Chain A
């Protein structure tokens, strides 16, 4: 059955939108799975082991992780990453190999979160003053700030490793296509990112990134704390014999992970979220994901950052170290894009009261239309300015 999606282009007549056929079988499958899994998660009644002072999670001594009725380690529950909001992916280079904030740095992070909370409930008395262009504070959902200095824990400096020559060539081609200056910025700052999230020179809706198009944030972008954004950060783990399902609230992902040792699908099958296979190593769930569609999503929050290649393999480890804490880590190995593998790691804390709400992202995605209209308006203004300058020059020459 043909599925249609909206596509808009700039044309001589202005703004032209039409319906194009496209395959969205994966979407239908995931909607079905998400619907089937819309069951409440069992809450944990054990006392909280969640660190109160922002300290990193430690393995609880003399504590045995619970088991499911069929004998697997039980990871089920609601595990939002709201505590991690404000932890950058890459560490401030000034911090070197220091993985945790100092007391003073942590106090600043904590104070910022507190100001945000207090601001919400204060009357606003500058009703004609300047306002922020960032996410309004009432959109942002944060938990208790942590002391973690960066989400990247390896390399030890917490920085994304250098790009391969092949990846640099691709990044430069992208910069050239969109007339961006990030190449210079990359060289100046060593950021190793191509800022896939910030392309503003759009020709049509397909130039917009897949997050703006409400498709996905990619596998790793779906579990990293949302920055920019900072909302809808729910993760839920559901288990059945031989399978684990990982749901991410953004953008309503439901990854079904078989545990029965079956091989990955053939190399010709490529998807944004890849093909996951899991197994247990003691009480740790190990998930290896391959078959990614390269060049589409970045390895950063919201699917931004430097696009990865089809050689990417992500190995995730989920270890429940306390009744309300899972230590999560993901090793990202893409030899075509980065000169060495790198790893993100952080604790996820259970929040039984967290309610995930269906994020039917394209339901009213006016933003995509607004972004295109903005892009076309800017281009029109630039064209008019150029035409005026040309007319002025002609007049001056006469």
Chain B
């Protein structure tokens, strides 16, 4: 059996980065470290080919061209459909062909899957902006 211990320096760095970005330092449904590699940051720029509207997490598929022009289809993990719906999005909100940039980390096995802390349009606007708290005045009447 393989020996695996928590990577404390990476975890500490992650917490620092979270605090820097103003995010709550929380994990996902599953532990980041079990699936993704903090030493493999990726920047994925390309066109959306599919939005998989499934639980426990939605996944966006993006065609990304490499330096040699070869196109690879990447899967990028998103929040659960429930969260996206409460933010006012539906499975049809993101059209195929939309150009996006995802910043995150590649899967540990080297597959073309990534988590993404940040997904934006090309000009930096957040893809999934908007609040989810229905009690806040700005979200009244949204659902």
A242 within 8 A of B: no
Q: Contact: A138 with B18, CB < 8 Å?
A: no
Q: Does B74 contact A (CB under 8 A)?
A: no
Q: When the two chains form their complex, are residues A353 and B82 in contact, meaning their CB atoms are under 8 A apart?
A: no
Determine which of A130, A229, A359 lies in contact with B28 in the assembled complex, contact meaning CB atoms within 8 Å. Answer: A229
Q: Which residue of B lies closest to A197 (CB)?
A: B31
Chain A residues contacting B35 (CB-CB under 8 Å) are 367, 370-371, 374
Residues of A near B52 (CB, < 8 A) are 364
Q: Which residues of B contact A124 (CB under 8 A)?
A: 118, 120, 124-126
A137-170 interface with B by 8 A CB criterion: 137-144
A354 to B134, CA, bound (A): 6
Chain A's closest residue to B134 (CB) is A353
Complex alpha-carbon distance, A132 and B125, angstroms: 18
Contact B3 A85 (CB under 8 A): no
Q: A119-B23, A123-B126 are in contact. Are A134 and B56 (CB under 8 A)?
A: no
Q: Is the CB of A138 within 8 A of B21?
A: no
Q: How many A-B residue pairs have CB under 8 A?
A: 256
Chain B residues closer than 8 Å to A373, beta-carbon distance:
107-109, 111
Q: Kindly name the residue among A86, A123, A124, A127 whose own CB sees the greatest number of chain B CB atoms within 10 A.
A: A124
Q: How many A residues have CB within 8 A of the partner chain?
A: 82
**CB <8 Å contact, B113 and A211:** no
Nearest CB in chain B to that of A370: its residue: B35
> CB distance A139 to B107 under 8 Å?
no
Q: Are B116 and A229 in contact (CB under 8 A)?
A: no
Give Cα A198 to B6, complex, Å.
8
Bound Cα distance from A325 to B36, whole angstroms? 40
Cα–Cα, bound, A357→B140 (Å): 18
Which residues of A from 87 to 135 have beta carbons under 8 Å from B? 112-113, 115-125, 127-135
With A112-B22, A112-B24, A230-B26 in contact, is A378–B123 under 8 Å at CB? Answer: no
Interface residue tally of chain B, by bracket? 35 or more
* Interface: B33 (CB within 8 A): yes
Q: Is the CB of A228 within 8 A of B27?
A: yes
CA–CA, A135 to B140, complex, Å? 25
Contacting pair A228 B1 (CB below 8 A):
no
Q: Flag whether B70 is at the interface (Cβ < 8 A).
A: no
Q: Which residues of B from 97 to 135 have beta carbons under 8 Å from A? A: 101, 103-105, 107-111, 113, 115-118, 120, 123-126, 128-135
| B interface footprint on A371-390 (CB within 8 Å = 1, 0 otherwise) | 10111111100110000000
Residues 1-33 of B, flagged 1 when their CB comes within 8 A of A and 0 if not, give: 111111000100011011001111111111111
Contact residue among A141, A353, A364 (Cβ-Cβ distance under 8 Å from B140): A353
Given contacts A140-B24, A211-B30, A364-B56, 17 further A-B contacts (CB under 8 A): A113-B24, A115-B22, A120-B130, A133-B117, A135-B24, A138-B87, A139-B83, A141-B132, A201-B3, A231-B79, A354-B134, A357-B86, A362-B55, A367-B35, A370-B35, A378-B4, A382-B2
7 nearest CB pairs, A to B: A228-B27, A364-B54, A115-B22, A374-B108, A357-B82, A353-B134, A139-B79
Residues of A within 8 A of B (CB): 82, 85-86, 112-113, 115-125, 127-144, 178-181, 197-198, 200-203, 211-212, 214, 227-232, 249, 351, 353-368, 370-371, 373-379, 382-383
Offer 12 A-B interface pairs, CB within 8 angstroms, sorted by A.
A133-B115, A137-B24, A143-B135, A178-B1, A179-B2, A212-B29, A232-B80, A355-B86, A359-B80, A367-B28, A373-B108, A377-B109
